[in-house]
């Protein structure tokens, strides 16, 4: 595919995963910085899909290029699906990834129901107003302590059933083969192929 896409994210962990997955699928991407765009998009939507579309449209408009955004998060059964769309902001501004993981473990202390899933919505906006969307989900469980140093965000506390490992113990390739983001981007690229043939 000759068209270039801006990846509408400021999260370096996401950016690197999205770059690798999309490159493997033959989609050329650049970062917002490479597109000369530096805007913060307010995530006012109540769903991953709404927030992904807000980001994709804003960056597309600012860059004048098609833009792909990811909105994602961790949904924990024992927290009624939280932190969900608030995953990046869980615990307030003072916390880093490690702090958010520890806060989550603290909130689940003594809790035997550990089921959780990651969700990812991908949205793509084109300068002509066209849009594409796709979603992906990865089921798992919350560990009792952080394990592993790979990945980002909640990876060290997300246990993958069948692997007996957290996302924090998987290589980027191993994670993307089963992750919410890997699935959403694969579904998106399939739709993109159909769209570009039209
Ligand atoms: P952008 O909006 O700039 O893309 P962000 O980090 O604010 O970056 P989101 O609003 O989509 O992105 O928040 C997603 C949060 O969910 C992210 O910050 C992580 O804490 C968590 N998250 C999402 N996908 C994850 C993954 O694959 N592994 C670990 N944590 C993840």
Residue nearest to atom 11 of ligand 1 (CA): 71
Confidence of residue 183 (pLDDT cuts 50, 70, 90): very high
Q: What per-residue confidence (pLDDT) applies to 198?
A: 81
Structure tokens at 47: 């769903």
Q: Are 186 and 25 in contact (CB under 8 A)?
A: yes
- Outline where DSSP puts E strands in 95-167: 115-125, 131-142, 158-160, 165-166
140 pocket-lining for ligand 1 (C-beta < 6 Å): no
Above 60 in pLDDT, residue 43? yes
pLDDT digits (tens, 9 = 90+) for 53-93: 999 999 999 999 999 999 999 999 999 999 999 999 999 99
CB of 153 shorter than 6 A to ligand 1: yes
Active site residues: 71
Whether 43 lines ligand 1, by a CB cut-off of 6 Å, is yes
Q: Is 157 in the pocket of ligand 1 (CB under 6 A)?
A: no
Contact 135, 48 (CB under 8 A): yes
Q: Residue 62's CB: how many other CB atoms inside 10 A? A: 18
* 186: confidence class by pLDDT, cuts 50, 70, 90: very high
Tens-place pLDDT, residues 118-127: 999 999 999 9
As given in the structure block, the two tokens for residue 172 are 């980027």
Cβ pair 63, 126 in contact under 8 A: no
The rounded Å distance from CA 197 to ligand 1 centre is 31
**Phi and psi of 36, rounded to 5°?**
75, 25
């Amino acid at each position: 595919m000759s068209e270039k896409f801006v990846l509408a994210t400021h999260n370096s962990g996401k950016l690197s995963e999205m770059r690798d997955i999309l490159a493997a699928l033959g989609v050329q991407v650049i970062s917002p910085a490479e597109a000369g765009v530096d805007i913060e998009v307010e995530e006012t939507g109540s769903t991953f899909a709404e927030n992904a579309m807000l980001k994709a449209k804003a960056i597309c408009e600012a860059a004048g290029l098609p833009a792909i955004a990811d909105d994602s998060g961790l949904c924990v059964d024992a927290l009624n699906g939280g932190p969900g769309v608030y995953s990046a902001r869980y615990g307030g501004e003072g916390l880093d990834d490690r702090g958010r993981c520890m806060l989550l473990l603290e909130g689940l202390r003594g809790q035997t129901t550990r089921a959780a899933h990651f969700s990812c919505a991908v949205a793509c906006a084109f300068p002509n107003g066209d849009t594409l969307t796709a979603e992906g989900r990865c089921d798992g469980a919350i560990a009792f302590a952080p394990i592993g140093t790979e990945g980002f965000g909640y990876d060290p506390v997300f246990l993958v059933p069948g692997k007996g490992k957290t996302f924090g113990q998987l290589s980027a390739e191993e994670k993307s083969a089963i992750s919410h983001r890997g699935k959403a981007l694969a579904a998106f690229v399939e739709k993109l192929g159909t769209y570009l043939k039209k």
